[in-house]
């Protein structure tokens, strides 16, 4: 003898409950997936300076023999990053002033070969050579940080920090010491043959008071 069939309303109720539970689980999975993707976004920050914040006088260049516009101590600000893309083997870090010597701009720092396990630099750490990076060549032909040196009576200059995640080993033969910003860009490439896994930026401002 067959068991009695459930009334239609109970069957519909059970199906509705299963459907609702499925929607909840799907929504939860989407949230988890979104959070995972959001956590993977490469982000560059400074514990001392917000994005579009101002650099301190101590961060300005200190080479007064080179330029009277050097009014600081050439102490690099602290930097940190998170959300490292999968497959990253090394980083490059650049500092560029688009208003300086316009329209060419001024490259204030070019370093690369930063191991993937490095998560940032302490205050002043970029102002001197380090085993943590390979020094390139800035406009001032320096292989380390060279701080702002804006002329007096000018508006704010925007010093843009760019962190580039790459799939190149820190000791890769392509990463030769002394490369300029343009030479590094050529090595990293573009399109399907690019070695770039991701990038992040931080804008800081300075003007000669």
State the 10-residue block means of pLDDT for the chain, 209 residues long.
50 50 44 47 97 98 91 98 98 98 96 98 99 98 97 94 99 98 97 96 94
For the entire predicted model, the pTM comes to 0.81
The β-bridge partners of 44 are: 81
Give CATH for domain 42-206: 3.90.280.10
C-alpha to C-alpha distance for 12 and 165, rounded to whole angstroms: 53
User: Minimal CA–CA distance to 101: which of 75, 136, 67?
Assistant: 67
pLDDT for the residue numbered 140: 96
pLDDT for the residue numbered 180: 99
What's the Rg (C-alpha) of the chain? 25
C-alpha to C-alpha distance for 64 and 142, rounded to whole angstroms: 15
pLDDT for the residue numbered 8: 52
**H runs (alpha helix) in the chain:** 8-39, 181-188
Domains of the chain, residue spans = 1-39, 42-206
pLDDT for the residue numbered 15: 54
């Amino acid at each position: 003898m067959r068991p009695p069939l459930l009334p239609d309303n109970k069957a519909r109720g059970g199906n509705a409950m299963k459907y609702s539970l499925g929607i909840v689980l799907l929504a939860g999975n989407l949230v988890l997936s979104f959070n995972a993707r959001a956590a993977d976004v490469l982000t560059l920050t400074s514990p001392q300076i917000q994005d579009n914040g101002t650099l301190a006088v101590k961060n300005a260049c200190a080479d007064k023999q080179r330029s009277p516009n050097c009014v600081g101590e050439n102490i690099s600000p602290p930097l940190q990053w998170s959300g490292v893309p999968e497959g990253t083997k090394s980083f490059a870090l650049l500092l560029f002033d688009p208003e300086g010597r316009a329209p060419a701009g001024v490259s204030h720092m070019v370093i690369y070969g930063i191991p993937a396990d490095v998560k940032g630099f302490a205050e002043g750490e970029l102002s001197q050579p380090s085993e943590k990076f390979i020094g390139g060549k800035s406009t001032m032909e320096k292989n380390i940080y060279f701080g702002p040196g804006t002329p007096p009576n000018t508006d704010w200059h925007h010093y843009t920090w760019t962190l580039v995640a790459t799939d190149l080993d820190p000791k890769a033969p392509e990463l030769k010491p002394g490369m300029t910003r343009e030479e590094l860009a050529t090595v990293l490439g573009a399109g399907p043959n690019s070695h770039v896994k991701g990038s992040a930026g931080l804008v800081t401002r300075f003007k000669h008071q």
